[in-house]
Structure 1
Amino acid sequence: MAKHKIYTMSVASVYPHYVAKAEKKGRTKAEVDEIIGWLTGYNQEELEGQLEKQTDFETFFAEAPQMNPSRTLIKGVICGVRVEDIEEPTMREIRYLDKLIDELARGKAMEKILRK
């Protein structure tokens, strides 16, 4: 079975859309970066390095310093699918990130987004 197209897309190609979605709703790039760091363990410098290298999504998550164990608390529907029901690990991580960015754009408080 062929890999889903999103796996081979660079994070850098989607990242501006995450930021634009957040900023359109009055949120900031810094909040997007904080969410990505919370989920993956990348610090700001490492995140910028991954974006510069045009790292694809599969590699981005595979090389993540420390996936947050609290990410399993992320529940809900994204792209018509319940994130907690996604079997494929990499796709689930991608959808976790999508869900967090969605919550940010919907005005949810950062403490709630970061499952504190």
Structure 2
Amino acid sequence: MSKHRIYTTAVADVYPHYVAKAEKKNRTKAEVDEIICWLTGYSMDELTGRLADGIDFETFFEAAPAMNPNRELITGVVCGVRVEDVEEPTMREIRYLDKLVEELARGKSMEKILRQ
């Protein structure tokens, strides 16, 4: 079975869509960055470097320094899929990120988004 095309899509190609979605709802790029860094353990400099390198989603998550253990508290539906039911690990990480950005755009507080 072949992998979904999102695995080979550059994170930098999707990142502007995350930011646009947030900014459309009066949230900020800095908040999107904070979410990504919280989820993956990348520092802001590392995140900027990964985006500049054009790495794909699969590599981005495989190389993440410290996936946040609290990401497993992320539940709900995004793109018609219940995130906690996604079995494939990389796809689940992608869905977690999608869900966090969606929560940001819906006006949730950063404290709640980051499961603090």
TM range (shorter): over 0.9
Which residue in 2 is equivalent to 1:26? 26
Which residue in 1 is equivalent to 2:102? 102
Q: Deviating runs (4+, > 4 A) in structure 1?
A: none
1:48 Cα deviation (Å)?
0.4
Gaps of at least 5 residues in structure 1 are none
With normalisation by structure 2, the TM-score equals 0.99
CA distance in 1, matches of 2:106, 2:80: 17
- Equivalent position SS for 1:42: coil
With normalisation by structure 1, the TM-score equals 0.99
2:47 matches 1:47? yes
Gaps of at least 5 residues in structure 2 are none
Aligned ranges for residues 1-116 of structure 1 at < 5 Å? 1-116=1-116
Task: Give the alignment's Cα RMSD to 1 decimal.
Answer: 0.3
Alignment identity in percent? 76
CA distance in 2, matches of 1:70, 1:31: 18
1:98 Cα deviation (Å)?
0.1
